[in-house]
């Protein structure tokens, strides 16, 4: 008898959600960069464990929203949690520990505040979650247990796991537990499928990852990537055209780089990744455009499953 269901992975920005989903699936299905808030819409990764299929919804980080895009991402995250058969709340244990020390970084304080926001949201929804402490590398066990107990006392968790999504420590135990929670039923996807993200969106996400990897210090979150054309060639290769949108003219040279070298690097790395993911040659053509209102256009939300009116 087979089992299949959905698991929503929620957490503060940069808790390691995308890394965990990629680790559970065993393939790259969600982008991972140094910047927080790089996941803008739920990405479904498909993991297999015995006779169970686990469809992982990697949600955007839950935080206090300010802009329209922020509000849409947070609503998307809670929507993914509401519809799932199980919820994993991933917590950066190192950020939690750092808050209790003098000289804590503002990023760690924000992360701890976001964790409390999620706890309150779970209480409001009357939803139990699995607490997963991530980034346990180098953290003493008694300190991890203290964090787990403090969070568990909130009353919104059914159980707790301690893992390192980066190196895989503890992830197999978590995967087995998630498989056991999946309801009986037929598989939702073919067993060799790792994601249900359309090629256009996946290609745009891969390029956006390379963009932030290269210019993460110079460029704020004022950039988006759209796949504007996709053509299957007779020789089996794929031709892609993509547009990178920025909000200000001053940001365009940052992406282009001297003599176009930065854009060339982004295109090359994205093309290499896409060729591996799609198992075929990829021809990628990038254009950079300035559109100061791209975050306020309805079509940029509906196409990736976000609610423009959030």
What tens digit of pLDDT does each residue of 98-148 get? 876 666 677 777 778 888 888 888 888 788 899 999 999 988 999 999 999
Cα separation, 272 vs 286, in Å, equals 14
Which ranges constitute the DSSP H helices of the chain? 17-25, 68-83, 93-99, 106-125, 141-152, 171-181, 199-215, 252-256, 261-278, 299-302
Q: Is 297 helix (H, G, I), strand (E, B) or coil?
A: coil
The highest-confidence range among 31-45, 140-154, 184-198, 226-240, by mean pLDDT, is 140-154
Max avg pLDDT among 5-9, 72-76, 236-240, 284-288: 284-288
Higher-confidence position of 267 and 220: 267
Give the mean pLDDT of 67-76.
Answer: 48
Find which of 47-51, 217-221, 229-233 is predicted with most confidence, using mean pLDDT.
47-51
Q: What is the pLDDT of residues 285-307, one digit of tens each?
A: 998 888 766 555 544 444 444 44
- Amino acid 64: pLDDT: 45
Q: Answer yes or no: is pLDDT of 155 > 90.
A: yes
Instruction: Give residue 217's pLDDT.
Output: 62
Query: Topology of 199-302 in CATH?
Result: GMP Synthetase; Chain A, domain 3 (3.30.300)
* Level-2 CATH architecture, domain 3-181: 3-Layer(aba) Sandwich (3.40)
Q: How confident is the model at residue 24 (pLDDT cuts 50, 70, 90)?
A: very high
Average pLDDT, the chain: 78
Q: Does residue 159 surpass a pLDDT of 90?
A: yes
Those residues with Cβ within 8 angstroms of residue 2's Cβ, 6 or more apart along the chain or in another chain: 51, 52, 53, 184, 185, 186, 187
**Given this model, what pLDDT does residue 306 score?**
43
- Residue 44: closest CA among 19, 25, 26, 62: 25
What is residue 160's predicted lDDT score, i.e. its pLDDT? 95
Q: What is the mean pLDDT of residues 209-229?
A: 73
Banded pLDDT at 205 (limits 50, 70, 90): confident
Domain ranges of the chain: 3-181, 199-302
Q: Model pTM?
A: 0.63
Helix (H, G, I), strand (E, B) or coil at 68: helix
């Amino acid at each position: 008898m087979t089992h299949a269901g959905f698991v929503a992975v929620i957490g503060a920005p940069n808790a390691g959600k995308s890394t965990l989903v990629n680790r559970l699936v065993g393939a790259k299905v969600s982008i991972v960069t140094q910047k927080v808030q790089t996941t803008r819409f739920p990405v479904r990764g498909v993991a297999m464990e015995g006779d169970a299929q686990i469809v992982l919804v990697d949600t955007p980080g839950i935080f206090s929203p300010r802009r329209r895009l922020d509000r849409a991402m947070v609503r998307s995250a809670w929507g993914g949690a509401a519809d799932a058969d199980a919820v994993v709340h991933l917590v950066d244990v190192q950020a939690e520990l750092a808050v209790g020390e003098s000289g804590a970084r503002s990023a760690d304080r924000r992360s701890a505040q976001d964790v409390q926001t999620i706890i309150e949201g779970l209480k409001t929804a009357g939803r139990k979650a699995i607490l997963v402490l991530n980034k346990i590398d180098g953290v003493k066990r008694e300190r991890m247990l203290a964090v787990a107990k403090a969070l568990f006392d909130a009353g919104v968790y059914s159980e707790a796991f301690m893992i390192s999504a980066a190196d895989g420590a503890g992830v197999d135990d978590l995967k087995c537990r998630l498989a056991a929670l999946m309801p009986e039923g037929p598989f939702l996807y073919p067993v060799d499928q790792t994601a249900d993200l359309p090629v256009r969106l996946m290609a745009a996400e891969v390029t956006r990852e390379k963009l932030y990897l290269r210019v993460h210090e110079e460029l704020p979150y004022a950039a988006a990537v759209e796949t504007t054309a996709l053509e299957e060639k007779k020789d089996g290769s794929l031709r892609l055209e993509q547009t990178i949108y920025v909000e200000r003219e001053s940001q365009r040279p940052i992406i282009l780089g001297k003599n176009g070298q930065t854009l060339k690097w982004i295109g090359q790395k994205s093309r290499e990744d896409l060729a591996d993911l799609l198992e075929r040659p990829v021809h990628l053509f990038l254009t950079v455009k300035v559109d100061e209102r791209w975050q306020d256009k309805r079509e940029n939300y509906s196409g990736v499953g976000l609610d423009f009116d959030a």
